[in-house]
Amino acid sequence: MRCACAVRGYEATLMVGLTTATWVSGVSAHSSQAVAASGMSIGCKGATNAAKAMSLAAFKLYQDPELRKAARAEIDAARGAKYKYKSLLGDRKPPLDYRDRGASAATAIPVRQG
């Protein structure tokens, strides 16, 4: 498993990558062979191994304060001193204001009857 901080423009994201075997070597992704293998024991075992690896990595991170400090230092160094969070939405209002209790039923999404 590897951890990396991807910095693209004004956006910085902490990422975790993991590769585990779920298909026979040489099978193309999104093929009928890949679909069949994913639903069989090799796919389930691969998914279980991936879940275990990510869970144990998170557990180790929660248990080790020095590791958390090192991770924070890595992401801060990758972002740089001038990093400032900027929302991708900008300053616009949300497209759906579900918190507006004054909205009438007429503005609600219609539900099909029957």
Domain boundaries, the chain: 1-21+29-81
The residues, any chain, with a CB within 8 Å of residue 113's CB and separated by 6 or more, are none
| pLDDT tens profile 69-80 | 998 888 888 888
Residue 19, pLDDT score? 79
Question: Residue 52 corresponds to which tokens in the numbers above?
Answer: 């275990």
Which one of 19-28, 41-50, 97-106 scores highest in mean pLDDT?
A: 41-50
The answer to whether the beta carbons of residues 34 and 47 sit under 8 Å apart is: no
Question: Residue 44 corresponds to which tokens in the numbers above?
Answer: 């389930």
The single-letter code of the amino acid at 58 is: A
Tell if the pTM clears 0.75, that is, is over it: no
CA dist., res. 51 & res. 1, Å (int)? 12
3-class secondary-structure state, position 21: coil
66 has pLDDT over 90? yes
